[in-house]
Amino acid sequence: MSQTPYIFDVTASNFEQLVLENSFHKPVLVDFWAEWCAPCKALMPVLAKITEEYQGELLLAKVNCDIEQEVVARFGVRSLPTVVLFKDGQPVDGFAGAQPEAAIRALLEPHVQQPA
């Protein structure tokens, strides 16, 4: 998955800045994933497509759970994929398991300004 201005990897050392601080300006969707997780791989293109369509009104932060154990423990992630929406420095919504595009859009609707 190529990085874009709206899609980026986060680590324990930059989570505070890239997710929590950014979430005071725009909602940040955090995707907890792993290389070996097939549902994670199926979900990523859907999340990327939606994020790109929002043209910067939504950010997508990716956490590789095999590497970033500290972040996984901090948020109590128990299954993959887990997706958490942050707004104003707090988790406000989310889901576990791969979801259809319509369900993800419905989850985002109350929190993110629709793209023009």
Q: Report the predicted TM-score, pTM, of the whole model to 2 decimal places.
A: 0.94
| pLDDT score at 2 | 52
The ranges assigned to domains in the chain are: 7-108
Q: Which CATH superfamily is domain 7-108 in?
A: Glutaredoxin (3.40.30.10)
In the predicted structure, residue 3 carries a pLDDT above the cut 70: no
In the predicted structure, residue 62 carries a pLDDT above the cut 90: yes
- Tell which phi-psi region holds residue 89, choosing left (phi > 0), alpha (psi between -120 and 50) or beta: left
pLDDT, one tens digit per residue, over 12-41 is 999 999 999 999 999 999 999 999 999 999
What span, in angstroms and rounded, lies between the C-alpha atoms of 107 and 34?
Answer: 23
Active site residues: 37, 40
